[in-house]
Amino acid sequence: MQTTMESSNYMPTLLDERTEELIRQFRQHFDGVPTLVSAGPGRVNLIGEHTDYNDGFVLPVALKRDVRFVLRPRTDRLAQLYSIEFDEEGNFDLDAISFNRDKLWVNYIQGMVQSLEQEGIRLVGIDAVFSGNVPRGSGLSSSAALEIGTAHAFLAASGQEGTLSGARIAQLAQRAENRFVGVNCGIMDQFISELGREDHALLIDCRSLAYTLVPVPAEAALVIGNTRASRSLASSAYNERRRECEEGVALLQQVLTDIRALRDVTSDQLETNRHLLPENVYRRCRHVVSENERVLATVEALRRGDLAEVGRLMNASHASLRDDYLVSSPALDAMVDAMGSVEGCYGARLTGAGFGGCAVALVKPGHEQAIADAVYEQYPKVTNIWPEVYTTKAADGAQSMALPNP
Ligand code: GLA
């Protein structure tokens, strides 16, 4: 079984076979041709899990997989959209946005449009065809990719690209997901989809939204293992973890009066005040506090080219997510074990919210296939599920461009 190799010519032009296919579909669907193309990529997080909503640090990369739109601006305020994956239309009026109970995907688009307009950006309607190759529901942020691809589709159509900073677009996308779609996510996914950079990870300070590009060394390749296991527990457990973290902050504030979030707590302070916390809350806090420290240590190790140390930190992150934060699953543990069993794997961990979805491994280039082979061999024996394995490289964030005249 082969790993799925990513093509290396995806960016910067967006003029590839996928866009050509979208143009063909647009012509079939609408009268005429599209004039613009936009894309929002998915992401994989190297380290810094469940830290974003604690005002902490994350270190994701954007993927060479995206949700892509070809479109044509309209002179009125109608959005006429056709989703290739769902093989259905989702039309709405920008002046009459309301939650669509039948076609949930339309809500990501409506929510993004509403969020941009609430920011004072007046948008035009569009005719658009779109499709994505970020696996859906797999923890690689297909939702953020759809939101960010949508933002650039409408901004480009309205001549408003450049009006907002990338960080602001990411915040508006997060707001769309929190308030319109109703998912209580943090800022990481939208931020990296917007601002990712080829061959770089992004260190994001989720409090200030300051970010730093961190080169991914050429001696490090990324392999993603998709457990293809159900993530049914993810959203309820996600909200519960958020509550536990808030409880931890409230209890610690009795003595650490200056703290606003777990971001402000050191490991020493946490240990000194452990007696203030119920055991479950202490464990959740210990994960977040130690994970923030691991993110910063990972950045230092990447800068020194110490990939063995990066791998060690990734393994420690997984153990902490499994044992203290309780967001791993037998499938994720089996995936991480299979990846880690191969020589040439520096380290591996679950990525994203957990409970299923994907794991990411940092590997020596040339060992990708050996890792995939180990996963295809070992993982189904434990889980009875056939996995998918992708190799990837850090890619650019959101893009849009005018299409050449046919
Ligand atoms: C999901 C959320 C992110 C982040 C991760 C966990 O992907 O959308 O904001 O909280 O889980 O790190």
Give the model confidence (pLDDT) of 76-93 as tens digits: 999 999 999 999 999 999
Residue pLDDT, tens place only, 127-163: 999 999 999 989 999 999 999 999 999 999 999 999 9
Q: How far is the CA of 243 from the centre of ligand 1 (A)?
A: 15
Nearest one of 7, 5, 12 to 401, comparing CA atoms:
12
Tell me, what's the pLDDT at 236?
Answer: 86
User: Is residue 4 situated within a structural domain?
Assistant: no
Q: Are residues 193 and 264 in the same domain?
A: no
- The best mutation among 44, 47, 52 to test binding of ligand 1, ranked by most ligand atoms within 8 Å of the C-beta, falls on 52
Average pLDDT over residues 359-382: 98
Report whether residue 354 contacts ligand 1, using a CB cutoff of 6 Å: no
Lowest average pLDDT, out of 11-15, 39-43, 167-171, 196-200, goes to 11-15
Angle formed by the axes of helices 368-383 and 330-340, to 10°?
150
User: Is residue 107 situated within a structural domain?
Assistant: yes
Q: Are residues 243 and 303 in the same domain?
A: yes
Residue pair 262/269 in contact (Cβ under 8 Å)? The answer is no
Tell me, what's the pLDDT at 12?
Answer: 52
Report whether residue 177 contacts ligand 1, using a CB cutoff of 6 Å: no
Q: Are residues 62 and 88 in the same domain?
A: yes
Report whether residue 189 contacts ligand 1, using a CB cutoff of 6 Å: yes
Q: Are residues 264 and 388 in the same domain?
A: yes
Domain count, the chain: 2
Residue pLDDT, tens place only, 26-43: 999 998 999 999 999 999
324 has catalytic annotation: no
* Three-state secondary-structure class, residue 363: strand
Ligand 1 atom nearest the C-alpha of 45 is 12
Ligand 1 atom nearest the C-alpha of 143 is 8
- The best mutation among 43, 46, 47, 50 to test binding of ligand 1, ranked by most ligand atoms within 8 Å of the C-beta, falls on 50
Tell me, what's the pLDDT at 373?
Answer: 98
Residue pair 364/387 in contact (Cβ under 8 Å)? The answer is no
Q: Are residues 257 and 148 in the same domain?
A: no
Q: Are residues 225 and 209 in the same domain?
A: no
User: Is residue 240 situated within a structural domain?
Assistant: yes
Angle at CA of residue 60, ends 157 and 384, nearest 5°:
105
Tell me, what's the pLDDT at 235?
Answer: 80
Q: Are residues 193 and 49 in the same domain?
A: yes
Distance CA 195, CA 199 (A): 13
Q: How far is the CA of 374 from the centre of ligand 1 (A)?
A: 28
Q: Are residues 90 and 129 in the same domain?
A: yes
Average pLDDT over residues 15-33: 96
Structure tokens at 76: 């009125």
Nearest one of 110, 6, 26 to 71, comparing CA atoms:
26
Q: Are residues 198 and 264 in the same domain?
A: no
User: Is residue 12 situated within a structural domain?
Assistant: no
Q: How far is the CA of 345 from the centre of ligand 1 (A)?
A: 25
Q: Are residues 150 and 235 in the same domain?
A: no
- Name every residue whose Cβ is closer than 8 Å to that of residue 92 and which is 6 or more positions away in sequence: 78, 79, 100, 106, 109, 110
- Give residue 230's pLDDT band: very low, low, confident or very high (50, 70, 90): confident
Domain range for residue 126?
17-215+394-402
Residue pair 223/335 in contact (Cβ under 8 Å)? The answer is no
**CATH number, residue 141:** 3.30.230.10
The pTM (predicted TM-score) of the whole model is 0.96
Nearest one of 367, 374, 309 to 341, comparing CA atoms:
374
With a cut of 60, say whether residue 8 has pLDDT above it.
Answer: no
Q: Are residues 122 and 252 in the same domain?
A: no
- Give residue 2's pLDDT band: very low, low, confident or very high (50, 70, 90): very low
Q: How far is the CA of 339 from the centre of ligand 1 (A)?
A: 22
**CATH number, residue 286:** 3.30.70.890
Nearest one of 152, 159, 197 to 173, comparing CA atoms:
152
Average pLDDT over residues 292-312: 98
- Give residue 233's pLDDT band: very low, low, confident or very high (50, 70, 90): low
User: Is residue 9 situated within a structural domain?
Assistant: no
Average pLDDT over residues 164-193: 96
Q: Are residues 81 and 210 in the same domain?
A: yes
Percent of the chain with pLDDT strictly greater than 90: 94
